[in-house]
Structures are given as C-alpha cells and as structure tokens.
Structure 1
Amino acid sequence: MTSNHIDLGLDPDVEDQFVKLADKRGRPALRELFSGLYDRAIAQALDHSDNADIARQLSDVADAAAAQWVKELRKPDGGPTDKLIFDNLEQFCTQFFFELYARDTTYSNAIKWCCDWWAHPEAQVRLEAIWRAWEQLRRDGGTGMSTFMRDHADHHMAKLFDPEGPFKYCSADGHESDEEGRVKALAHTPAPTGLFARPTTNQP
C-alpha cells in the first residue's frame, strides 16, 4: 500500500502520539474530508475491484485523508492553522498538556502542585503562555516541539512546580486559600512623579 503519510519531523513515537491527540480534535474535519473521497473511491472500487482490493483502496483513501488533515494543520497560511486547536485554556490543559506533563505530585517533596490550578492567577497566566506557544509552534515541523518544550513548557512548569512558587501552601489533598494573606504582592513604593510619564509630541 502506498503511504501518504506526512513527515512531521518528530521522533516516530512522539509523532504517533501527536497525531492521535490531534485526531481527537480533528475527527469532524476528517469526516468531512472522508465523505467526498469515500463516495468516489467506493464507486470506482465496486466497478473494477474484488473485495480485497476494495479494502486496500479504502485504506489508501483513509491514509490520504488523515495525511491531508495533518498537512492542513501545519500550513503557514490559511486552512485550520488559522484557528486554535483547543477552544480554551482548560481544554488545552486537561485534554493534552496535563497528560503530556504527567508527574508524581503526591509523594514528591520537590514538586508542588494544586488541582485547583485555576484558582492561582500566576498559574493561569503561565499556562496560558504555554498554550499560546504550543498553538504557534505546533506548525513547525522542524525544531518547533523542541523549542516549545525547552523554552516554554519546561521554563514555566519549573516555576509552577517550585515549592516556593504559587502552590506553596497547597498540597496533594487540594487547594488551600491564602485567607491569612501569607502571600503578598511584591513590596513597592510609589515612583517619583513624572518618571513614567508618556512623552508628548509637539504640535505645530
């Protein structure tokens, strides 16, 4: 069978997981793509082939459709890449990223985590940054995933996992709100008047 597989430039095992995860979000698009291709392929197969050849041709069609969807996913202009794969931050985290970044947070003294991560503003911002970086770098079939892990995921997750980070008072048992105000905004004093004033333009 002729393969129509698109090379994503990843390790085969990593690429397989990527395509499977992407396929979960792409099934509606795949079904739309399949419908027209299947209609033509089935008609031709029934006219000219035996049962074994029909199965082979339909398998080829499925490969072509899946490859086309992944190809569209990576297009720099137009197509599905103009849209986000995930609809919101929670979806990105729970359906993809938290599975990718699985860690033992129950018995580790080196990692702090909170199941109510959304209750921590810093966690929201850092995970949002990770999500936006992934949506951009997923299109890069070269070093995109390496850049994403090294410069974005690993960097921000190290800050969140830090025992002195935003989850300091939380535990594996759950979120602990800081009602006593133990975590405060960084100390600051008012800046001198005019230091950050916006420059004005001279009007003629």
Structure 2
Amino acid sequence: MSDNWGDDGIEAEPFDVDDEPTAEPEPGRMFGLDVAEVVESMARPALARALQKAVRDIANEVVDAEVAEQLDPSVVEELQLQAATAARRSVAAALDQLDKEPADEEPELYFGSVDEFVRGYLLPNYRRRVDGHRVLWAAEWWKYAEAVARLDALWRAWEHLRQDAQTGMSVWFRDHAEHHMSILLSPEGPFASAGEGKNRENTNEKGEPLPYIAPPEGLFPDVREAAQATTNR
C-alpha cells in the first residue's frame, strides 16, 4: 500500500517547502544604514577636535617656554615681593574693617528685674483663680526661693522669645509659662505652705490678677541700670 494514504483512506498529495533565499545585504550597508555615510559624518568633527587639541598642545608648549624664558630669578623675586606686599595689605585692610564694625550687642532688657516682670507682665496676662487649697499662690512670692528661681527663668525666657515676632510668645506660653506656672500653682509646689494667708491675702476671685505684695526695696535691683553704669566707666 502507498505511504501517501492518510488515516481516513484519502490519498495525501506530497508537497515540497521551498525555502526562500535570505536577502543578501547591500554592499556598504548594515541595518539600513550607509556605513560610509555615517563614518564620513563622524570623521570631520573628530578631525576638527584632533586638530584643535594639537594646536592647544603646541600653543601651551610655546607659552610655557616663553614664560620660562621671561621669568629669570630677578623677575621671580620681584613677583614674590609684590605678592607678599599685596597679601599683607589685604590682611591689614580686613582687620581694620573688623575693628570698625560694631560688635553684636545684646538687645536691651524690656524689664529690669523679675519683680518688674511679675508686676508688669505676668500678673496682668496670666490670671487664675486662687483659692488657697486646690490652687495656691503666695502674695509674698519673693520669700520662696524656688518660686523666685522659676519666675526669673520665665522672665529671661520671655526677654529672649519676645525678639521673635512670629511665634515667640506662643513658644513662651507653651514651653515655659504653662510648665512653670502649673508647678507654682500646684498644691505640691513651692507655695504648699502658703495657704490662704492672713485675711486671705493669698487668694483672689475669678478674673482677678494673682495676689501680689511688693518685695522690700532693693531686693530686686534694676539690672539695666547696673549694665549702663558698667558701660559708662
């Protein structure tokens, strides 16, 4: 039986697959590019760069030789002398300018003492109801060392932060006033023994300033006057 019969009994015609010949690349071209044209377009700039480099190298050699010829020892010595003189003058001028510039001065204090700060700023601006039991304060605050230290710290921080017109006071209230005042007003704070005081002098009503009795004269001298006296000497 012929080998050309298929499984269904129908004779299958044999066929040949003709492989198409692969096209040969055109001479001088690869991937559709004219190699000679590409090389030619690159050759001119490369030649120009090579010539420029050669000219620069030659020019540098000529300049170096000319400078070496002109710079005999006497000329070099004169150049060194003039450079040293110019350097000394420049340094002297810079030092002279520094002497003329005013030194950065510390801003003048707004309040001259912690007592003035307490009277002039804290009492009008930090009002709390003081009942002598749950919330404490001493009218004679200056008798309590810790209270004086904390209030002095509040004053110094305020003097510094008032220079910041944007967020200075916000930072002072948040990071300084609220911290120290919460301790000062606490029943466990430095005024724990103050109580209501004589005739309830250590208490106030809602909306009133914190209780205050002036310290003895001279206890808190004005530091601005002391600084001015030192400057005038």
> Given the two structures, how large is their TM-score scaled by the length of structure 2?
0.39
Q: Which of the pair has more CA radius of gyration?
A: 2
